[in-house]
């Protein structure tokens, strides 16, 4: 499963501008985040209840689509509809204004507007592997410079540009336009040999490297080899298109070689409202290779390469799309030990282990299901089908892994054999396939 949630909203009602977040104490504040498959997740308190939100520069509004059995009081609600990127046309939502929202101790918004998505089928938690309650975008970035450090997994919010650390002089800075509450910059896209300066959305909510819109690029020709693939999910449905590798993407003096380009079909983007001259997006597989400072007020972006800069661009070599389908209580047997405390050193020493004495503990373990396979992929050729349950990978229990860990195992740029044990209709089955890069770059 590709973690891609690109959302563009065409609201049927106009929303009044809100002030956004403010830093209420000091020159800066630091927020820790979780990085899962290039996506950033931050704790956010909404009306006194702590929730988990994905940070996405490619979205204008703040969305909430799951409460995970938590009770949040929303007031001032009205019903609306919106359109997004995908197959269907519109989704119903509730608009709630004047919510008290805080991220950390000092980054707060006392009058935040939230859109509550009513489509229960849209649950991105199963595709991420942790509970995700919503997505926050523009208003997080609007008022203050935001530094994202992918190595330390921290976000630093600065009061203003004058509070940047001195080391910012070691960054490369570039012009950035903020249009319809989303950030854009120009980068050079080189399909084979010729570079084209292209206006691209800076999209933290897109786990891919680059998105390109073939219908909007003059004389566009798909690089070969390419594959038809499921690209991700928007709020209005699944997104399909092609993937291939391009020669390079250049941002100033930073040249990223052989990145994977995803190209949605025209049907998937037909309801997408595009800014003038936009050709695609730069995703988080590119952005994670830098420490990034977004300065919306001055319309600048600052980049400093990190140790990920020269990482190879990997693709899932199995063709499996996997989701987490809930959790299951599992009983584990634990041997009982007798212990004695040494009063002098305050140490605890085990003095007896009785091989006949056990007690049990119960732990929640994830269940992983196959949600689909790529056409002609190794997994499909091995006979794996939708709704197969993943039991082991290379003799290791899948239930002891995270979804993020499984995806890392299956990404490759070299051939490697994988042994799986699956369960289908209650029957255990073994299968084997070799990971392969379906879109190796071919010089012409």
**Domains in the chain with CATH codes:** 22-163 (2.40.70.10), 174-289+306-311 (2.40.70.10), 320-333+362-435 (2.30.42.10)
Q: What is the pLDDT of residue 16?
A: 46
Percent of the chain with pLDDT over 70: 83
Q: Which residues contact 242 (CB under 8 A, 6 or more apart)?
A: 222, 226, 227, 228, 229, 262, 263, 265
Average pLDDT of the segment spanning 286-302: 97
Average pLDDT of the segment spanning 394-407: 92
Alpha-carbon distance of 434 to 444, in angstroms, equals 27
Other Cβ atoms closer than 10 A to 52: 18
Q: What is the pLDDT of residue 268?
A: 73
Average pLDDT of the segment spanning 69-84: 80
Handedness of CA 264, 270, 272, 276 (dihedral sign): positive
3-state secondary structure the chain: CCCECCCCCCCCCCCCCCCCCEECCCCEEEEECEEECCEEEEEEEECCEEEEEEECCCCCCEEECCCCCCCCCCCCEEEEEECCCCCCCCEEEEEEEEEEEEECCCEEEEEEEEEEECCCCCCCHHHHCCCCCEEECHHHHCCCCEEEECCCCEEEEECCHHHCCHHHHHCEEEECEEECCEEEEEEEEECCCCEEEEEEEECCCECCCEEECHHHCCCCCCCCCCEEEEEEEECCEEEEEEEEECCEEEECCEEEECCEEEEECCCCCCCCCCCCCEEEEECHHHHCCEEEEEECCCCEEEEEECCCCCCCCCEECCCEEEEEEEEEEEEEEEEEEEEEEECCCCEEEEEEEEEEEEEEEEEEEEEEEEEEECCCCHHHHCCCCCCCEEEEECCEEHHHCCHHHHHHHHEECCCEEEEEEEEECCEEEEEEEEECCCCCCCCC
Q: Is pLDDT at 428 greater than 50 in this prediction?
A: yes
Q: Are 96 and 114 spatial neighbours (Cβ–Cβ below 8 Å)? A: yes
Q: Is pLDDT at 141 greater than 60 in this prediction?
A: yes
Alpha-carbon distance of 431 to 433, in angstroms, equals 7
Give residue 18's pLDDT band: very low, low, confident or very high (50, 70, 90): low
Other Cβ atoms closer than 10 A to 297: 14
Q: What is the pLDDT of residue 166?
A: 85
Give residue 5's pLDDT band: very low, low, confident or very high (50, 70, 90): very low
Q: Is pLDDT at 10 greater than 90 in this prediction?
A: no
pLDDT digits (tens, 9 = 90+) for 185-226: 999 999 988 899 999 999 999 999 999 999 888 888 899 999
Give residue 9's pLDDT band: very low, low, confident or very high (50, 70, 90): very low
Q: Is pLDDT at 6 greater than 50 in this prediction?
A: no
Q: What is the pLDDT of residue 125?
A: 81
Give residue 108's pLDDT band: very low, low, confident or very high (50, 70, 90): very high
- Nearest to 221, CA basis, from 186, 249, 259, 263: 263
pTM above 0.75, yes or no: yes
pLDDT digits (tens, 9 = 90+) for 304-349: 999 999 999 999 999 999 988 877 766 555 555 555 555 555 554 5
Average pLDDT of the segment spanning 416-424: 94
Q: What is the pLDDT of residue 361?
A: 56
Answer with the residue of higher pLDDT: 354 or 49: 49
pLDDT digits (tens, 9 = 90+) for 379-397: 999 999 999 999 999 999 9
Handedness of CA 280, 283, 285, 288 (dihedral sign): positive
Q: Is pLDDT at 51 greater than 50 in this prediction?
A: yes
């Amino acid at each position: 499963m590709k973690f891609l949630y690109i959302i563009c909203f065409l609201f049927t009602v106009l929303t009044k501008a809100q002030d956004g977040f403010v830093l209420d104490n000091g020159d800066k504040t630091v927020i820790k985040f979780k990085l899962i498959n290039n996506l950033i997740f931050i704790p956010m308190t909404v009306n006194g209840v702590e929730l988990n939100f994905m940070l996405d520069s490619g979205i204008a509004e703040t969305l909430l689509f799951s409460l995970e059995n938590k009770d949040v009081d929303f007031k001032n609600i009205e019903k609306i509809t919106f359109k997004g990127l995908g197959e269907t046309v519109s989704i119903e939502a509730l608009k709630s204004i004047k919510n008290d929202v805080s991220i950390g101790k000092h980054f707060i918004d006392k009058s935040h507007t939230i859109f509550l998505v009513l489509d229960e089928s849209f649950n991105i938690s199963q595709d991420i592997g942790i509970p995700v309650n919503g997505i926050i975008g523009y208003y997080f970035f609007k008022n203050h410079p935001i530094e994202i450090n992918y190595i330390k997994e921290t976000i630093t919010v600065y009061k203003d540009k004058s509070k940047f650390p001195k080391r910012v002089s070691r960054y490369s800075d570039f012009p950035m336009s903020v249009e319809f509450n989303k950030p854009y910059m120009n980068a050079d896209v080189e399909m084979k040999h010729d570079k084209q300066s292209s206006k691209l959305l800076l999209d933290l909510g897109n786990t891919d490297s680059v998105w390109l819109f073939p219908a909007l690029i003059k004389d566009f020709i798909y690089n070969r080899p390419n594959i038809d693939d499921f690209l991700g999910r928007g709020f209005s449905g699944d997104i399909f298109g092609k993937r291939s590798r391009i020669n390079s993407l250049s941002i100033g003096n930073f040249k990223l070689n052989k990145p994977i380009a995803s190209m949605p079909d025209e049907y998937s983007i037909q309801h997408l409202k595009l800014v003038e001259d936009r050709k695609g997006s730069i995703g988080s597989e590119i952005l994670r290779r830098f420490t990034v400072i977004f300065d919306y007020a001055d319309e600048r972006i600052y980049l400093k390469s990190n140790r990920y800069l020269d990482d190879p661009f990997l693709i899932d070599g199995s063709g499996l799309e996997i989701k987490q389908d809930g959790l299951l209580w599992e009983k584990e047997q634990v041997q009982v030990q007798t212990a004695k405390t040494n009063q002098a050193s305050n140490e605890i020493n085990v003095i007896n282990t009785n091989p006949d004495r056990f007690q049990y503990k119960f732990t929640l373990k994830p269940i992983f299901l196959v949600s689909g396979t790529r056409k002609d992929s190794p997994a499909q050729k091995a006979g794996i089908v939708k709704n197969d349950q993943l039991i082991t990978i290379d003799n290791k229990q899948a239930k002891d892994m995270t979804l993020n860990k499984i995806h890392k195992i299956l990404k490759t740029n070299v051939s490697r054999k994988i042994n799986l044990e699956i369960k289908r209709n209650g029957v255990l089955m073994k299968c084997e396939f070799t990971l392969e890069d379906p879109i190796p770059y071919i010089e012409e």
